[in-house]
Amino acid sequence: MEPTILLTDDQIAFYHEHGYLAIEAITTQDEVDRLVGVYDRLFAEKAGRDKGDQFDLAGTDEEGKEASLPQILGPSNYAPEMRLTQAWANADAMVKQLLGPEGGVGGDHAIYKPPFHGAETPWHQDEAYWDPMWDYNSLSIWIPLQPATVENGCMWFVPGSHRTEVFPHHSINHDPRIHGLEIEGADVSGAVACPLPAGGATFHHSRTLHYAGANHSPMPRRAWIIGGGAPGKRRETPRSFPWNERKETARAERAKSS
């Protein structure tokens, strides 16, 4: 599929300078409407739960307990039609604009904030979740499937924070049963909120500090996140992310036994 929307030179420069970018549209309202149907079905059917791909990002994720922040890793593995969308084609073209011709979209995930009680996503850097042995050249594209507002949990970024190292993190509430991470000791006083229309998008570098508030609205807050990158390289200086080694999550157990 050919891209229908590309980034402007100013948008590309903004991303590299500030480590994030917000655009008004990465796809159409029609496509957003179709994606909502697929998205809601995957959560309703608990797609991927057996394999550890669907779980509560901000809770202890016991069987039968309502999730405060349901997440699906790789929703397009369970609904391949998500890759045959204009959003996916545009995201791929935009990653190449930002990272060069070797760049492209990779995996995806979905984070759903239920009405009135969807939990906040604490401040973190995405790279803190990943294998510490690699240097990455990666970003995430966050696409809301309804308007994203401060009230329902839009994204916030700390401009320029992509130039920092990875800060220490810990599992939310210091509970190793919880998958979600929270940053330690970072100054987020300069953070900016990025409200968006449905089908808009934010981009952020793997080290950019970011946060999304709780959903205080009466409507679900659906976000589909597409990962993009160019090849990374193995680090010459080793580092460790002990917060991941300490984790004992139910999702990892399900992944092991599936």
Q: Which is nearer to Ni ion, 59 or 89 (CB)?
A: 59
The answer to whether 36 and 180 are in contact (CB under 8 A) is: no
> How many Å apart are CA 242 and CA 196, to the nearest integer?
35
Of 200, 225, 230, the closest CA to residue 76 belongs to: 225
CB of 3 to Ni ion, least distance (A): 25
Q: CB of 155: closest distance to Ni ion in angstroms?
A: 9
In the complex, what is the shortest distance from the CB of residue 84 to Ni ion, in angstroms, rounded to a whole number? 25
DSSP letters of 48-83? TTTTT-EEETTS---TTSPPSSEEEE-HHHH-GGGG
- Residue 86 or 125 with smaller CB distance to Ni ion: 125
The residue type of 192 is V
Q: Is 82 left (phi over 0), alpha (psi -120 to 50) or beta?
A: alpha
Which lies closer to Ni ion via its Cβ, residue 56 or residue 126?
126
Task: Enumerate binding residues for Ni ion (CB under 5 A).
Answer: 126
Q: C-beta of 96: minimal distance to Ni ion in Å? A: 22
Q: Which tokens go with 160?
A: 């320029």
Strands of the sheet containing 54-56, edge to edge, are 20-23, 201-205, 134-144, 221-234, 104-113, 70-73, 54-56
Could you give the angle at which helices 86-99 and 29-44 cross, rounded to 10 degrees? 100
Nearest residue (CB) to Ni ion, 86 versus 121: 121
Q: Which is nearer to Ni ion, 207 or 254 (CB)?
A: 207
Question: Which uninterrupted H or E stretch holds 157?
Answer: strand 155-157
Nearest to 117 by CA among 44, 56, 166, 201: 56
Tokens linked to 167: 């800060």
Task: Identify whether the C-beta of residue 63 lies closer than 8 Å to the C-beta of residue 81.
Answer: no
Give the nearest distance from C-beta 76 to Ni ion in angstroms.
Answer: 18
Give whichever of 129 and 134 is closer to Ni ion, judged by the CB atom: 129
Smallest distance from Ni ion to CB 7, Å: 21
Residue with smaller CB distance to Ni ion, 34 or 247: 247
Least distance CB 142 / Ni ion (angstroms): 8
